[in-house]
Structure 1
């Protein structure tokens, strides 16, 4: 029987969790300072329009990321002492991201000027596309892989404080809603410049032109994670997008506001799960038995925290919505939030079964298959439920999809002989 020491933790891992925790506070608390202001000064329609445009832009963000957030992080973690190798990884990934950004920009132009629903607000969608620059030149995955997230804290603090200040100073009425994405572009570029300075001065990073072989190798390595990310977006981000396509901007505002709260709550666990990934990957690589025991211990801790967050979110949903968004959102958004409140617990389990276990064990193909199947099911749920139940149907679709993902991942791990619930390898069969 495995004994779990709930408060036993590696010092380097603890430092990385703390840094990631501070990053999450910066990334979510600072923007939430503007939520009560923006949700009240903007009409529900304009607020929903901006949130809808964010969800549309996320598709291009998924393309530009291409799964490097996991595969490149893993590569850096495994080569953290090899400076030359890290230079090549960063150069190759950045080059690919730039190409994907150019392609995304061209696709954005074609879509917004071809479809009437987008054409009326084409400038909003194009402005949001330029925020992808941050994902290219502010490589959080590099610092995560090196377990040095504290080095990018100043950049995040500066950009978020600047963003909050500019929103309060510049957006004084509803007809200035378009300045929201403009402010996002400005702060994104400021953050990217700051991080590039750190990379050159502190890490002596040297960009090199990647070879064809290096590019192909990175694309192949990230392919299955990329497919997984697309699948994940189909039952997360796509819910907001399809709700906007099938209903109205106001319905998007009601649902996306609840989702915003949910994401903020889930972000409390992100520092732990993000810091665990390189740590557990290294342990599984070195010793599978030891890695399984570590995964078992992590599962118990993360599941307990997830359950606490889910219960707290359900109980406090009405108060939170009223505080952040005001009375015009209370009835609709609270109903959505109560349905979504189970997700912190469910997603904790799926994260441990999927990202933390399947990927380190080399089960990326199976991981992506599960997500693809679940995303297809989610689309079916969406097109059945949303026309009838609007934003409530979207919330139900998301919950059903997440439960399906978690169940399938656990079933496949058991089938492969990996049981992190009991903390043992039954047998290791990489199907």
Structure 2
């Protein structure tokens, strides 16, 4: 096999492992502190922290505006055009500054008018500070250029420092408020470093952007933004509704199980999504047939891997909860078991929705499906959370994800786009896909020993 043929595979592998390192820093390093912190602050304060994080997620969503998808797609299509890179970078930067101003105004108003926020102003302010990092963190640029390895190392070191500082500063129950502050400061450090690096590495020249240009960009990309909102309505809003209809302890039990699921999701599925999106996008750019073929090849691996992970989570759930949170969080075990196959459902939904529908510019259909799913999810969440607490919230999320993923598959099937082919699950086809990756790894090992 020639080096030319293995270059795309090598690039994909490099991006996947780099993103996995980023996600390890973001999600698995906190596992080192979780057993200590959860026992110090207890379920009640743990629930308050996660409730504030869920609310601030909406402000983060407004600032990001779906640019992690739309800007990545734009950069991937203009990777070799330095002038176009600078134009896109400037547009996104000024659009995010504008959105930060709007979100800050809304945050200040809600901080003094929503009783749950007004009761713990300092905690919510410390949590919100992380939103400033979203303006200067150009993850979308690195994703579009398919070069994330430089950022991965810097991010890992920063989060390692954050993890150590958390263990040093949180000593008693009252110190819980420092957790969101340290989290926000670490994200700003990472964002600033990656921003400066991007300017130098890609020779970015920032140009002033008029309000008209900003409004034009926001209007053009509105469908993806609305899609991100409706996705959040049936994920993050679960925690908010649970916080309003139940106690902080219910929020703690739900988010304890939810966090473990999201660690698996972000450590495996999210790196695959972010590294595959521009890779598959290039294939769809050449032809729909080639793009669909790429998705077909990838589907069996993601399905098999996430299914095995789900089985492992179900078996190990009691031990994981006891180890990471302590005996006070035992009620989170049933939450973790209900959600154990969510990563598999999300991974398939990502392949059908983000990787296929978005790359094929089916933005409106994607939005309609997620909107309908959100309406169903909100209804289920309010009803089940009120009746069953954390368990009801878990069932609401699981059922909503199943509906959305199934709806996307049906829509694509109706459009005669068939992404699941049983032949690709056979041993012979699996080996055909694995072989290029094995060849690249073998070359790297050989170079490392010579």
- Coarse TM-score class (shorter-chain normalised): over 0.9
Greater fraction of residues in helix: 2
Q: Matched residue of 1:341: which SS?
A: coil
The correspondence of residues 115-130 of structure 1 with structure 2, limited to 5 A, is 115-130=114-129
Asked whether 1:48 is paired with 2:57, we answer no
Runs of 4+ in 1 over 6 A off after TM superposition: none
Note the residue ranges of structure 1 that are not aligned, 5 or more in a row.
1-6, 425-431
Q: Matched residue of 1:178: which SS?
A: helix
What is the CA–CA distance in structure 2 between the aligned matches of 1:358 and 1:115, rounded to whole Å?
A: 38
2:135 alignment partner in structure 1: 136
Q: What is the CA-CA distance between 1:8 and the residue it aligns to?
A: 12
Q: Matched residue of 1:184: which SS?
A: helix
1:315 alignment partner in structure 2: 315
Deviations 1:343-379 (A, max 9, x none): 1111111111100100011101100110011001011
Deviations 1:45-103 (A, max 9, x none): 11110111000100111111111110000001111111111111111111111111121
Q: What is the CA-CA distance between 1:43 and the residue it aligns to?
A: 2.3
1:4 alignment partner in structure 2: none
- Maintained 8 Å contact 1:51/1:253: yes
Q: What is the CA-CA distance between 1:334 and the residue it aligns to?
A: 0.3
How many residue pairs match? The answer is: 417
Q: What is the CA-CA distance between 1:115 and the residue it aligns to?
A: 2.1
What is the CA–CA distance in structure 2 between the aligned matches of 1:301 and 1:375, rounded to whole Å?
A: 28
What is the CA–CA distance in structure 2 between the aligned matches of 1:280 and 1:221, rounded to whole Å?
A: 23
2:188 alignment partner in structure 1: 189
CA RMSD across the alignment: 1.7
1:3 alignment partner in structure 2: none
What is the CA–CA distance in structure 1 between the aligned matches of 2:401 and 2:219, rounded to whole Å?
A: 27
Q: Matched residue of 1:177: which SS?
A: helix
2:244 alignment partner in structure 1: 245
Query: Could you tell which deviates more after superposition, 19-28 or 277-286?
Result: 19-28
Q: Matched residue of 1:63: which SS?
A: helix
What is the CA–CA distance in structure 1 between the aligned matches of 2:183 and 2:176, rounded to whole Å?
A: 12
Q: What is the CA-CA distance between 1:236 and the residue it aligns to?
A: 0.8
Instruction: Classify 1:14/1:233 alpha carbon distance in 2 versus 1 (closer, same or farther; 3 Å).
Output: same
Q: What is the CA-CA distance between 1:162 and the residue it aligns to?
A: 1.7
Deviations 1:250-278 (A, max 9, x none): 11001001000000111222211211111
- Maintained 8 Å contact 2:170/2:178: yes
Q: Matched residue of 2:389: which SS?
A: helix
1:206 alignment partner in structure 2: 205
The correspondence of residues 245-284 of structure 1 with structure 2, limited to 5 A, is 245-267=244-266, 268-284=268-284
Asked whether 1:166 is paired with 2:196, we answer no
Instruction: Classify 1:8/1:82 alpha carbon distance in 2 versus 1 (closer, same or farther; 3 Å).
Output: closer
Asked whether 1:94 is paired with 2:93, we answer yes
What is the CA–CA distance in structure 2 between the aligned matches of 1:80 and 1:216, rounded to whole Å?
A: 25
- Maintained 8 Å contact 1:108/1:125: no
2:378 alignment partner in structure 1: 379
2:433 alignment partner in structure 1: none
What is the CA–CA distance in structure 2 between the aligned matches of 1:243 and 1:275, rounded to whole Å?
A: 34
What is the CA–CA distance in structure 1 between the aligned matches of 2:286 and 2:68, rounded to whole Å?
A: 22
What is the CA–CA distance in structure 2 between the aligned matches of 1:385 and 1:153, rounded to whole Å?
A: 40
Deviations 1:382-423 (A, max 9, x none): 121111101111000001100000111011101122111139
- Maintained 8 Å contact 2:223/2:363: yes
Asked whether 1:290 is paired with 2:283, we answer no
What is the CA–CA distance in structure 2 between the aligned matches of 1:288 and 1:423, rounded to whole Å?
A: 20
Q: What is the CA-CA distance between 1:342 and the residue it aligns to?
A: 1.5
Q: Matched residue of 2:146: which SS?
A: coil
Note the residue ranges of structure 2 that are not aligned, 5 or more in a row.
1-5, 424-450
